[in-house]
Homo-oligomer: A and B are copies of this chain.
Amino acid sequence: MKKGHFYGIHRVIEPKGSLPQPAWKIDNTMTLYDNEILIDVKILNIDSASFNQMKEAANGDLEKVKGFILDTVAKRGKQHNPVTGSGGMLIGIVEDIGVNSPALTKGLKKGDEIATLVSLSLTPLFIEEIIKIEEKTAQVFIKGKAILFASGVYAKLPDDIPRKLALAVLDVAGAPAQTAKMTRKGETVVVLGAGGKSGLLSLYQAKTKAGATGKVIALEYDSSAVKMIEELQIADEVYQVDARDSLEVLKIVEEATNGELADLTINCVNVPDTEMSSILATKDEGRVYFFSMATSFTKAALGAEGVGKDIEMIIGNGYTKAHAQIAFDTIRSATLLRSYFEEKYGK
C-alpha cells in the first residue's frame, strides 16, 4: 500500500499543492492508500444550497440533476458543486481500512455502517450508477465508492435512529451544536430558514439554552412550514416572511422584540441574498451565525459596515466537537420534532 498524506494531499490533481477541499480536481481511483478508508456508498445527502441550485438550473427535471452530479464527479473526482462550492455527505459500509488508518485504533471494522462528517466537496467519489434521487430529502441513492482520508471525521450510525434520518441530521450537525454553544440564557434568538433541517434543530437548541426567560423567533418562507413549526412547539413566535426582504424582516423582528432586535441571529436559509436581513435583525453588539452555504463573504462584511452595525459575524464551520452526538441527542429529546423528521425521512 502506498503511503497517504494525513490531509489527503496525495490525491490532489489540480492545482498542485492545494488541499483536497479547495482543489479543482482530485484523484478518485478506488485503490486504497495506507491511511485511508474505502466506503461502499449507499446514499449521498446533497447539500441543500447545492441541490436547490441544480434543481433550478434543471427546471426541476431530476434526470438533468442526475446528469449534473455525474458530470461534476467525472470532472472533479468529487461531488463539489462548482456554482455553490458546497457538497453534502454520505453513508455507506466500510469495505476496507488502510493498515495505518487512525480509525483502526478507534475500533472501526469492515462492515460497519458510517456517515462521513466531512463535506463531499473533498471526498474522492466514484459513481457506478445513480439509482434514484429523492426530491423532498435531497438524498441520492447510488452504487459507488468513496475514500475517507486519515484526517476525515466520521460517525458510526446509532441503532435507535433510522439511517436516512441520521444522514439528514448529520448533514447539518454543525448548526444545532453551534447554536447550543452560542446561545446564552435569557437571550432573544432569531432563526431564518427556520423550517428546514438545520433551522428546526437550531430552534430546539436555542430554546433549550435561552430558557424560559429567553425568546426564540422563527422566520420561515413557506406557510405550511410556518404551521408545522407552530405545531412542533419549538419556537416562541413564528412569522412568515421572505428572508431576502430585509426591510420586512427588520419590521417583523422590531415588532416582535419591542425594537430591541436579536442578541443572536442564526441563518439557515438555502438561497442567496439573505445577509442584509440577518444583519438588520441583530442588535448592536449582537452576533450573527451564518450557517447558510449561500452566504457571500463580501455582502456580509460590507453590508454590516454599510449600515454601521457593530456585530460579530461568524462563518458556519460544519465541524465542532461532539456535533454528531448533539444532533442525535436533539432528535432523541425532541419528541414532536423526531416524529416530524421520521415522517419526512422514514422510520
**Interface positions of A (Cβ within 8 A of B):** 7, 9, 17-22, 84-87, 117-119, 121-122, 151-153, 174, 245-247, 273, 275-276, 290, 293, 295-321
Contacts and interface: CB of A to CB of B under 8 A. Distances in A.
11 contacts: A17-B245, A18-B273, A22-B299, A85-B302, A119-B306, A151-B307, A295-B297, A301-B318, A302-B318, A313-B317, A314-B315
Given A301-B293, A307-B7, A275 B22 contact: yes
A245 to B, nearest CB: 6
Main secondary structure of the interface of A (DSSP, over half): loop
A243 to B, nearest CB: 12
Given A301-B317, A314-B312, A317-B312, A21 B86 contact: no
B297 A315 contact: yes
A24 to B, nearest CB: 11
Contacts of A17: 245-247
Nearest to A49: B298
B315 A313 contact: yes
B293 A118 contact: no
A171 to B, nearest CB: 11
Contact of A153 (B153, B245, B298, B308): B308
Contacts of A306: 19-21, 118-119, 121-122, 151
Contacts of A151: 306-308
A313 to B, nearest CB: 4
Contact of A298 (B84, B245, B302, B305): B84
A315 B302 contact: no
Contacts of A293: 297-298, 301
Nearest to A303: B21
